[in-house]
Each structure stands twice: as structure tokens, then as C-alpha cells.
Structure 1
Amino acid sequence: MRRRHWIIAAALPLVLSACDRSGTNAEQAPSRSLEEIREVGTLSVITRNAPTTWYIDRDGEPTGPEHDLVESFAESIGVTVEYKRRDTVAAALDAVENGEGDLAAAGLTRTEARRDRFRFGPAYQPVTQQVVCRRDNVQPESVEDLIGLDIEVIADSSYVERLEALKADGHPDLAWRTNAEVDTERLLRKVWEREIDCTVADSTIVDINRRYFPELIAPFNLSSEQQLGWVMPQARDDLASAVEDWLAEFRDSGQLEDLRERYYGFFALFDYVDTSVYIRRIRERFPQYDAFFREAAEQYDLPYMLLAAQGYQESHWNAAARSPTGVRGIMMLTQNTARAMGVENRLDARQSIFGGAKYLARMKQRFVPEVTEPDRTWLALAAYNVGRAHMHDAQTLARKQGLDPHRWGDIKKVLPLLADPAYYNDLKYGYARGTEPVRYVRRIREYQHILANQVD
């Protein structure tokens, strides 16, 4: 099995570091009005190929948080989208300034220096700048501890702005290098490879990349919370107003929350030991079961990586796994479930995987048509873990609380209440450890995300 270097991916919050050229107002090339964009029927968007913006998924389709936001906005004004990729955020900003696109959607931090240069759309995502180092190299705990370290950050960035402010405010010996040729992800890899001591990255970029480079740590925040926004030419009040109207409706309808859940809902706490062990087992243990997961996923119309990730969550890919509660095998099937799925030997890896896949597919079929993907998959996984009866109670409770029983983002809010007598005493099936299915789904999504970038 060949390990693949990270270049694209799906999960956290919508971000990339915000690059900017320090300086004054520059003369911008003529830009198109909203009316002209509608007449032509195409919105020209500058973006980057990165996990937090725009990328091509395993099926060859464009996706990503910024992609989904842009597509929704374009639909609201009745046009299609033409994407123009740039290698760095600084290049994306230059492209807007040069009239090469109508707006830039590339995880851009709203800074004062940028406001002199561009018009920002409304804020849609908070981020925090973090110092990033390797845990077995250096572990600074303050700005003072950074003095003397080999620090490299991307050029013309909000990171540079922050470092310059700190240098002027009581840390005159603070020093760093800038790099105009690479993005933040590449610098994180340089830290991991011990080529440099530390860099600075937005919190969401760190959340994603620590899943592939678990030795990375973020010992402290370099900034307070900042906000991301789309960038447009200064003169485009009309386009900015349309973006503001659309985003307000997008947020109020719950779609922004849904989008964050889709891409980042599984990035919560980071477990260095668990992630390190998982990556090792992908190399050492997974190959002997890979074909079984692929075959079972194809037979039952399930995502292959999802099924494999579920198998790891259940047993750590241990075909002989047993628990005191009586579940057995890679997919940890109960005797009753195994019998219903036609599994004769739960400790037979192939039988267990096919039985688990069949059961998961059955869970997916037991929800009403109003439950759409990806919520159908997340609800089915939760039902696999806690049982369909308790999921029925959770949906009932969601309705009582004015939440949507068909959305995972709402169901995961009420599931923990199944352990509270103030709630479960009034429900048909009573007590359940409702926190467990929430954690179960989150871990599977995280394992799937990591696996997709370790396996060809």
C-alpha cells in the first residue's frame, strides 16, 4: 500500500490563512456589475485547491466548503459558476485586483489592511491563528518562547501582520522567515519533517492536518478570534449587497450550519495516541481486509471508506474481537443481528463485514424519504450503534423541541437526553446511553476522512 500525500479532502470549519499585501489602495481593474454578471449568466470565482475551499473528490466531482457556498449564492442570483484556481491566497487576491474574477472565495481573513484594498462580504466563519510545532521537537508556551526558534510563515499573510504587531509590542527579538512560494499546508508538512521548528496556521487548517500528521501540536493561540469573508473589488456595492442578502437567508434557513456539519462536524477533540495507532494499523492491518470491505460496500451500495472506517471503530479491524456484552467480530455483531443477517460465524472476517454492511444498509432503508443524504447515513450509523427503537425516541424528542427529526445536526443534540430521566421517562423505549451514538458517528467520520488520504 502506498501512502498518498495530502492534496485535497472533505469535514474542519471553512478556512485558509488570509494573505495580504501590505500597502495602500491599489488601482483595481474594472469589475463587472451584478447586472452584467446576470446578463452573461456566469459568476467568475477565484479560489484555491485545498481541503477547506475547493477540491475534486474521489468520484471526480468538485466539492468543498467554499464550493458549496459559492454554488448556493450563484443559484440565488440565477447564474452558473466559473472557477479559476490560484496556488496561493495572495495570488487569489491579486487576481481579484486585476479583474480576473468577480470575487475570491478562498478562506480569506478579514483584516484592516485588506479592507483598504477590497470590499469584504459578510463574515461566515471564525478562525484563530495558532502556533504549530512538532511535539517531539519544541513546545513553546508563549510568544517569548518563540524567540530563537526557526519560524517560517507564508508571505503577505495575516500571520505576518500578527507577528509584526507582536514584535512592535514588546518582543523586538522575535524573528521569522516568509515564503511566497508555498501554502500553509506545505509549511505544516515542513514542521512535521523537522525542516523548520514552527509555523503559524488557522485553527481549522490545524484541525484537519493533525489527522495526517499527528505529531503536530498547537501549543498556544497567536491571535484572538478572526472572521473569514469573500473578497470583491471596492466598487462592487451591488455584488456585496447580493452576497449579504443571500448569506442572511442561508444562515437563517439552517443551511450554513448544515454545511459546517457536513465538512467539519466530526472534527472535535484530537487524540494523538489514537490517531497515531490508527495510521499504523492502516498500513499493517487493513490490507488483509481491504477487499472484503470493497466487495461488501459494492454489494450493499455503501461508501467503501465509510464501511471500512466503521469496521475500525467497532473492532480496530480485529477479526477475533469479543466484548463482555456478547458482540463479536470485526463488525461486532450481536447473536440476533448475525442470525438475521445470515452470518453463521461472527469471527469469520468476510462474513462479519458482509453482515455488518447488510445491517447498515437495512438501517438506511428504515428512515422515511424525507431523510436525505448525508443525514440518512449518519442516522443509520447511529441506529446501528444504539438501535432503531432509541433513534425513534430521539426523533420524537426532536419534534417536541421544535427540531428537525430528519437532520443529524439536530438529532445529535437530543440523543444525549435519552440518558436523562426528565426526558426518557416520557419516551416509548426509555433509557439509552445517547452520548455513545453521537461519539460513534463522529469517530467513524473522522476515521473515514483519514483513511481516504492514506489509501489509494
Structure 2
Amino acid sequence: MLRLWSVLCLSLLLLACSKPLPEQTNQLADIYQRGQLRVGILHGPTSYYIGVDGPTGFEYELAKGLADRLGVELQLFPSFDLDDLQTKLKNGQVDFIAGGLTLTPERTQKFRAAPAYRWINELLVFRQGNNWPQQLTDLTEPVIVSAHSSHAETLKRLSAEIPGLSYQEDPELDADELLQKVVDGSINYTLTDSNQLAVNRRLFPQLTIGFTVSENLPVGWLLPKTRDDSLFSVLIEYFGHVYQNGDLVTLEDRYFGHVEQFDYVDTIRFIRAIDDTLPKFKSWFMEYAGELDWRLLAALSYQESHWNPKARSPTGVRGLMMLTMPTAQQMGVQSRIDSEQSIDGGSRYLQMLLTRIPERIPMPDRLWFALASYNIGWGHLEDARRLTQRDGADPDKWLEVKQRLPLLRKKSVYQHTRFGFARGDEAALYVENIRRYYDTLVGVDERQQLEQKLEQQRQRLVEQTEQVADAPPLSQ
């Protein structure tokens, strides 16, 4: 973050020293005149996608925040193809391109780079169980990367330094699809960004890091090469604002904070449980989810009991949703080891906790607070929020509160709280685990739905083919 602040200060200094604009065009004035901020954005799990509640993604929220700050409508031009977006930028169809783009020398020669807001590493990835390469000279097969990508640019530069380095550019597959090809064994190696790998590993834990190819590469938006500084000036101010008020850190934590820690064995075990155990209870998760996403409810249950209906803790909580006796009585659950009753009671209890969270707290922080309360109790959560406020931080942000939860273990702290000692560190980890399980379950569920649709289409095609074959021949 200090690096971002330095970049913003330098950008302001250079902008102040630039010559006056001779032409009359003004990009910012055009944006206000049309009432729209036109953004070319890349589809992908680390950038922009359509979620349960509509458009979402790290880059989407950043762009939406800018549009809201300007008081204009956000008009998106989504694409899976960066070349397509670059053409739109050159032709003036979009104001800038967003998509977690590495600011490579080749890109910054063609376009103007907005201030960098993140830094990533480029990683050589292979499949778990194959020979582990330690450096580029250990590779036995070509590295496959997306055509015209930052990874292709990196390998092009390195191939001039390392004789024999072989790589191929695939014009059809994007970075996420290439990672899947590594998993299924179709290709041996690819390059990926560190944040992209962290997200994909939740679904494909077999992905393994061979070594780091490039470190601390800046990520930012691309603007057209023009001497008009109006929009560029706004971007400097905007990123300075979201850095200072903590919105940028909060956004990073929302999308990437919970995937930074990776447990290969736990992820493999969870994916197996999705196939082997979840089907026994899935219909009840769906039936009793209410306003919740059933997959979130299932993720909560796995964190609690690993989907074991007879699970029991040393403290006496029992069942799939690990309800205490008072909570079960409050929710009208007669048998905590009855799977259907447990899921119903646990879902209603979580939704009740959601209603206790102040309405001013937006989703998803509101949900993270409710989950923490499910684990540690409402009173202890409120103690952590009061500690957060005492420190001058925002008690309505999960990112801030989860940093104070571990303090509830310290006698010097908890003796001055209303509800006393609590295992706050476990509550923070509890929420992050559920978020990781939820991400994995969403990915597996969406993949299964796609496979079912493809199978249905295949069956219809077979039936149509059989009908044509059985039809009587046309009369001459």
C-alpha cells in the first residue's frame, strides 16, 4: 500500500509539470455529457462475472465505485478477448480497460497506464505429482499461454535470454482454461498470476507452483494514449481516495483475502465430500435455505460437522449444524441429530442473526458478521466491534473487526469487555474457512450444472438423430 501511495504522489507531480493541453477535447467532459462511464472489462473470476445477485468481481466494483463517485452510469463492455477490448479503446468505444491487467512495457507503449493499484507475481504452474521444475531450463515441454497475454510477453523476453526455452501461444484458451488443461493433463506447464492461481486452487487443488518467474508486477487500468489529462487526473484522485479510506484494502480482502491460505489436503477432502456425502443432504439445504444461498448453508455445515449428522463436540453441540441445546430449543428443533431438523434450525438461526446485524452494514460484511456470531456468539462479536471502534477503526467492516477478534483471548483485554474471554481467533478463521468452502462449492456446482446441460443437449441430439433414422424415406 505504501508503494501505491508513492506511485500516486509521483503521478500528481508529473501531471503538474505537464504542458497545457492544446486541443479542445476533454475526455472527462465527454463522460459527463453522455452521463456514462464506458468501461471495457475482461470476464473472469478475478475481474468480472455474473454472480447469484448479478454483476460482481474485484474490477467491476472498482469501476462501479468510480462511476458512482463521478455521479454517472456505469456502462460495461465485457469481453473474453483482450485484443477486442484494445481495439475498442483505440476506436474510442470505451474510456478505459479494466481486468487485472499487468502493466507490461509492451502495453504501456501502446496505451497510457493508470496508477497501479495491485502487484502480482507470475508463476510457473504444473500438476501435482509430475516432476517438479525448479527453473526454466528444467522444463521438458513447451509452456502454453494465452495469445497476446502478459505471460506471452514475459516468455518472449525470456526466450531471448534463455536458448532452448520453448513456449506456445494459444489463440482460443484464456488463463483459467489453461489452468484446467494443466489439471486434466492436456498440457504440462502454463504461466499464471498469483491471485488467479489462489482463486483457481479452490476448485483445482492439484495445481502446484513450480517457481516464480516474475515478481511484483504492477496491475492497473489502460487508457488511450492522449495528451488529455482530465480522466487520468480523476483516476489519481480516485485511487488516492480508496487507498486512504480503506475501501481498496476492504475490496481486496473481500475477493482475495480468504484464498491466500491454501490447504491441499483439506481442499481435496472437501471436493470428495461434495461428490460422496453432500447428495444425501443437498435437497434439505436447498429447501431450508430461505433467503440464503443453499451453498453457503452447506459450506457452514461442512465447517461445523464435515456433514456428519452424529457429530458432537466436547462442549456438547451436536448434529450437522452443531447446535447448542438452548439454540435447538429456541429454534424448535426436537432432535439435533435429525439431519433435516438440524439444517432447518441452523438456517433459521443464521437468518435470525442476520436480522440482528445493523442494517447500515452492507453485504457481504453483514453475512460475515452473522457467521462469526454463529460461532462465537453475538455478545462476543459486539465486544470485538467495540474494541475496533475504540481503536479508531470502522466497526462495520469485517476486515477491521476480524483483526481485533483474537484480542478477546488476552486477559488484559477481555477483563474490560462486557462478555469476557472468547476464542476470537478461531471465529475469524471459522469465517474465512466457510468463505473458502463456499467458493469451492459454487465452482463445483456450476461445473456440474454445465455438464448436466451438455449431457441433456447430447441426449436430445441422439434422440433427434434416431428419429431421423427411423423416419420413412421420402417418396420419389
TM over 0.5: yes
SS at match of 1:81: strand
- The answer as to 2:160 corresponding to 1:164 is no
> After the TM superposition, which of the residue ranges 315-324 and 348-357 deviates more from structure 2?
315-324
Matched, 1:413 2:413: no
Equivalent positions of 1:9-408 (< 5 A) are 33-59=27-53, 61-146=54-139, 148-169=140-161, 171-235=162-226, 236-298=228-290, 301-408=291-398
Q: Residue 414 of structure 1: CA displacement? A: 0.3
- Cα pair 1:297 1:304 within 8 Å, conserved: yes
Q: Secondary structure at the match of 1:105?
A: strand
For 1:210 and 1:322, the matched residues in 2 are separated by 30
1:330: Cα distance to partner? 0.2
Greater share of helix: 2
SS of the aligned residue for 1:332 comes to: coil
Residue by residue over 1:92-142, the C-alpha shift from the partner in whole angstroms, topping out at 9 and shown as x without a partner, is 223312333211112111122222111111111211101111012232122
Larger Rg: 1 or 2?
Answer: 2
C-alpha distance in 2 between matches for 1:140 and 1:35: 53
Alpha-carbon contact 1:32-1:102 (below 8 Å) kept = no
Amino acid at match of 1:47: I
Q: Work out whether residues 198 and 259 of structure 2, in 8 Å CA contact, stay in contact via their aligned partners in 1.
A: yes
Residue 225 of structure 1 aligns with an amino acid whose one-letter code is N
1:423, distance to aligned residue in structure 2 (A): 1.7
Any conservation in 2 of the 1:346–1:352 contact (CA below 8 Å)? yes
Q: Which amino acid aligns with 1:46?
A: G
Partner of 2:422: 432
Task: Report runs of 4+ in structure 1 exceeding 6 Å deviation.
Answer: none
Paired with 1:82 and 1:31, the residues of 2 have a C-alpha distance of 21
Of the structure 1 ranges 324-333 and 157-166, higher mean CA displacement relative to structure 2 is found in: 157-166
Q: Is the 8 A contact 1:45 1:83 kept in 2?
A: yes
Deviation per CA, 1:278-329, whole angstroms, max 9, x where unpaired?
Answer: 111112211121121122211xx32322111101111111111122221110
- Going from structure 1 to structure 2, the CA distance change for 1:31 and 1:292 (only over 3 Å counts) comes to farther
Q: Distance in 1 between matches of 2:91 and 2:175?
A: 24
> Matches of 1:302 and 1:57 in 2, distance apart?
14
CA distance in 2, matches of 1:357, 1:129: 41
Asked if the contact 1:132/1:216 (under 8 Å) is kept, the reply is yes
> Where does the alignment leave 5 or more consecutive residues of structure 2 unmatched?
1-23, 450-476
Using the TM superposition, give the Cα deviation of residue 32 of structure 1 relative to its aligned residue in structure 2, in angstroms.
6.9
Conservation of the 8 A alpha-carbon contact between 1:133 and 1:191: yes
Shift of 1:218: 1.4
In terms of mean alpha carbon deviation, does 33-42 or 422-431 score higher? 422-431
Separation in 1, partners of 2:332, 2:246:
41
State the 1:31 CA deviation: 8.7
Cα distance in 1 for residues equivalent to 2:288 and 2:349? 11
Aligned length: 422
How far apart are the structure 1 equivalents of 2:410 and 2:299?
30
C-alpha contact (below 8 Å) 1:138/1:197 kept by paired residues: no
Alpha-carbon distance in 1 for matches of 2:184, 2:25: 43
Question: Scaled by the length of structure 1, what TM-score is found?
Answer: 0.88
2:101 and 2:358 mapped to 1: Cα distance? 40
1:268 to partner: Cα distance = 2.3
1:412 is paired with a residue of what secondary structure?
helix
SS in 1 for 2:258: coil
Amino acid at match of 1:338: A
Larger mean CA deviation between 108-117 and 432-441 belongs to 108-117
Q: Note the alpha carbon deviations across 1:12-57, whole angstroms, 9 max, x for none.
A: xxxxxxxxxxxxxxxxxx9972211211112221112211122111
| Contact 1:71 1:81 (8 Å CA) reproduced | yes
CA displacement, residues 360-413 of structure 1 (integer Å, 9 cap, x when unaligned): 122222233333322221111111111122112111211111111121111101
Identity, % of aligned positions: 39
**Does the aligned pair in 2 maintain the 1:153–1:200 contact within 8 Å?**
yes
> Partner of 1:128: helix, strand, or coil?
strand
In the alignment, the residues of structure 2 paired with residue 416 and residue 145 of structure 1 have an alpha-carbon distance, to the nearest angstrom, of 44
Q: What CA distance in whole angstroms lies between the structure 1 residues aligned with 2:145 and 2:333? A: 55
Higher mean displacement: 79-88 or 437-446: 79-88
Whole-angstrom distance in 2 between the partners of 1:311 and 1:118: 48
Relative to structure 1, is the Cα distance of residues 434 and 45 closer, same or farther in structure 2, using a 3 angstrom cutoff? same
Secondary structure of 1:161's counterpart equals helix
Separation of aligned partners in 2, 1:45 and 1:419: 47
CA RMSD, Structure 1 to Structure 2 (Å): 1.8
